[in-house]
């Protein structure tokens, strides 16, 4: 039981290493079996950790028995275990889809996929900002290779922008870590939360520079305006299971903002309390505005879904900017919903593109799809969900966010921004559905039929939406409890520093 917290990192790491060794390295069938078995085990471990954390327990895993704030520490609380369960469920569905044939497009797909999940899970679990940087690099290196998996000019062109921007972001991250370590003498999140309130005025000015540099880095990872321009082309060019997995990468950035600027620079940070909030409000509104325009201007389904990812990021930023327990609980519910549905839509876009011939998923008249019923039902569910219409989870998530807004100036900004974004998504998805399913020029000469495995993966992701509504009470209670624990963590960091800190 005490070693469960490190298993979400060890399982994909060991799985990826085994896939690089003979006899598994040369046998695709064995790689598929090992991947699905590892991801199934990862889901079970993540679910167990969620149930354990639901009682309010914060489990620390101290590597090498170096007592915090020294050494490497993993923290399994409600927030980190929720994100682990989300990433493992998403990874399992994406792997199911890839096993239908996408993993044949290039070499080393399965080990790269495992290392990607290792980096994502490590970022969620780490209790130290330097190790957050380390896991960022692990997931980024794997994402570079996954992005160009299968080759092609479009993938190569998109990967160049993606790699260059993230290298710049990594450099800024290192500068920020140096500044914060120089002023606070530690990079352990709990220890930083204790020490930040005791800085003098000169040290606060330096630390604020480091904190805002972190906001820039996390903003780049989560595709916040004006750092969102890399996302649509990158996600649209990636293969379907990779793009679907990438749906959680922006949420890693949102998670990092939430963790760092709530625990370290939260209520107890003295002169640096809530340093990010004045920046988050304009960034949220501008990101929503840019994404709304991008949604209406999209010329293909993949591009539209990529813009919807940016729209979901803007919506999450609104919850971050409100900076209270109710809004954080609402944004966590919406985060789970948007990640799963956007991932499902990326897989669906690939299925549609394969059945429309040379037109692919572009919004032009093309041949009729040979499996319109099953794909059409999936598109209808996904469209209603991502737009936010009842009775699906998008409606519940947006309703919770609107409910969390204060009456007055705050509501005057929140309500129009979210509702106009939803209206733009409704118009865009209506246009997409009409063009893709009704504007047909001829019957198909031949058909690349969708496999049952692909349909199962899509419906597994999109089917989470009605489940989030059916079990909306327990899920929203859990996210609210998670938000409460997170906001109170800056006042009770002693629990995260056994024998350390002061």
The predicted-structure confidence for 421-475, as pLDDT tens digits, reads as follows: 999 999 999 999 999 998 877 776 667 788 889 999 999 999 999 999 999 999 9
pLDDT higher than threshold 60 for residue 501? no
> CA 496, CA 59: separation in Å to the nearest integer?
9
Mean pLDDT of 248-257: 95
User: pTM (2 decimals)?
Assistant: 0.94
Mean pLDDT, the chain, rounded, equals 91
- Tokens 């056994």, residue located: 498
The predicted-structure confidence for 356-415, as pLDDT tens digits, reads as follows: 888 888 998 888 888 888 899 999 999 999 999 988 999 999 999 999 998 888 889 999
Position 1 scores a pLDDT of 63
Q: Is residue 309 part of a domain?
A: yes
Q: Is residue 347 part of a domain?
A: yes
> CA 474, CA 464: separation in Å to the nearest integer?
14
| Four-point Cα dihedral 471, 477, 482, 487, nearest 10 | 150
Q: How many domains is the chain partitioned into structurally?
A: 1
Q: Is residue 156 part of a domain?
A: no
Domain that holds residue 468: 276-490
Mean pLDDT of 83-97: 96
> CA 361, CA 154: separation in Å to the nearest integer?
15
Instruction: Find out whether 346 and 253 touch, Cβ atoms under 8 Å.
Output: no
Q: Is residue 24 part of a domain?
A: no
- Of 123-132, 145-154, 265-274, 454-463, the least confident: 145-154
The predicted-structure confidence for 208-240, as pLDDT tens digits, reads as follows: 999 999 999 999 999 898 888 888 888 988 899
3-state secondary structure of 57: coil
Mean pLDDT of 55-74: 85
pLDDT higher than threshold 80 for residue 257? yes
> CA 50, CA 32: separation in Å to the nearest integer?
27
Q: Is residue 380 part of a domain?
A: yes
Position 50 scores a pLDDT of 96
Nearest in space to 133 (alpha carbons), one of 42, 225, 218: 218
Burial 437-454 (b: 16+ CB within 10 A, else e): beebeeebeeeeebeeeb
Position 495 scores a pLDDT of 62
Q: Is residue 159 part of a domain?
A: no
Position 350 scores a pLDDT of 93
Which band of pLDDT confidence, cut at 50, 70 and 90, is reported for residue 245? Answer: very high
pLDDT higher than threshold 60 for residue 500? no
Q: Is residue 473 part of a domain?
A: yes
> CA 83, CA 89: separation in Å to the nearest integer?
10
Which residues are CB-neighbours of 342 under 8 A, at least 6 positions away? 244, 247, 305, 308, 309, 312, 386
Which residues are CB-neighbours of 1 under 8 A, at least 6 positions away? none
Mean pLDDT of 111-120: 96
Sign of CA dihedral 170, 172, 176, 179: positive
Instruction: Find out whether 229 and 307 touch, Cβ atoms under 8 Å.
Output: no
pLDDT higher than threshold 90 for residue 99? yes
Nearest in space to 95 (alpha carbons), one of 134, 169, 42: 42
3-state secondary structure of 316: helix
Q: Is residue 435 part of a domain?
A: yes
């Amino acid at each position: 039981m005490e070693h469960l917290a490190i298993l979400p990192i060890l399982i994909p790491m060991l799985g990826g290493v085994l896939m690089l060794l003979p006899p598994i390295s040369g046998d695709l069938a064995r790689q598929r079996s090992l991947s699905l078995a590892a991801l199934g085990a990862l889901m079970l471990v993540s679910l167990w950790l969620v149930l354990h954390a639901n009682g309010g327990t914060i489990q620390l895993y101290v590597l090498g028995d170096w007592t915090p704030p020294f050494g490497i520490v993993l923290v399994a609380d409600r927030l980190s275990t929720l994100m682990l369960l989300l990433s493992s469920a998403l990874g399992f569905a994406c792997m199911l889809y890839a096993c239908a044939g996408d993993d044949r497009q290039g070499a080393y797909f399965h080990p790269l996929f495992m290392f990607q999940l290792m980096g994502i899970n490590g970022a969620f679990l780490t209790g130290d900002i330097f190790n957050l940087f380390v896991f960022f690099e692990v997931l980024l290196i794997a994402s570079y290779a996954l992005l160009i998996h299968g080759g092609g000019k479009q993938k190569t062109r998109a990967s160049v922008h993606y790699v260059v921007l993230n290298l710049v972001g990594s450099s800024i991250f290192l500068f920020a870590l140096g500044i914060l370590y120089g002023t606070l003498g530690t990079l352990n999140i709990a220890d930083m939360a204790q020490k930040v309130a005791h800085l003098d005025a000169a040290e606060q000015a330096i630390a604020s520079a480091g904190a805002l540099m972190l906001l820039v880095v996390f903003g780049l990872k989560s595709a916040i305006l004006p750092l969102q321009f890399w996302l649509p082309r990158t996600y649209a060019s990636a293969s379907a299971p990779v793009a679907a997995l990438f749906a959680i990468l922006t949420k890693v950035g949102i998670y990092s903002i939430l963790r760092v600027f709530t625990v370290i620079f939260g209520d107890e940070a003295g002169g640096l309390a809530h340093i990010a909030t004045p920046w988050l409000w304009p960034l949220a509104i501008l990101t929503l505005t840019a994404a709304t325009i991008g949604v209406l201007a999209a010329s293909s389904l993949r591009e539209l879904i990529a813009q919807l990812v940016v729209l979901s990021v803007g919506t999450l930023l609104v919850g971050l900017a409100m900076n209270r327990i109710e809004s954080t609980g609402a944004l966590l519910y919406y985060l789970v919903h948007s990640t799963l549905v956007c991932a499902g839509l990326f897989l669906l876009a690939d299925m549609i593109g394969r059945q429309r011939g040379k037109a692919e998923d572009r919004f032009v008249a093309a041949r009729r799809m040979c499996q319109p019923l099953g794909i059409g039902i999936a598109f209808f569910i996904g469209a209603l969900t991502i737009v936010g219409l009842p009775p699906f989870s998008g409606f519940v998530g947006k309703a919770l966010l609107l409910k969390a807004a204060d009456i007055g100036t705050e509501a005057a900004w929140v309500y129009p921004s979210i509702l106009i974004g939803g209206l733009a998504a409704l118009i865009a998805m209506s246009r997409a559905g009409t063009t893709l399913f009704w504007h047909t020029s001829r019957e198909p000469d031949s058909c690349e039929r969708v496999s049952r495995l692909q349909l199962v993966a899509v419906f597994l992701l999109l089917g989470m939406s009605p489940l989030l509504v059916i079990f909306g009470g327990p899920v929203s209670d859990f996210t609210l409890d998670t938000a409460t624990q997170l906001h109170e963590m800056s006042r009770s960091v002693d629990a995260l520093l056994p024998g350390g800190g002061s």
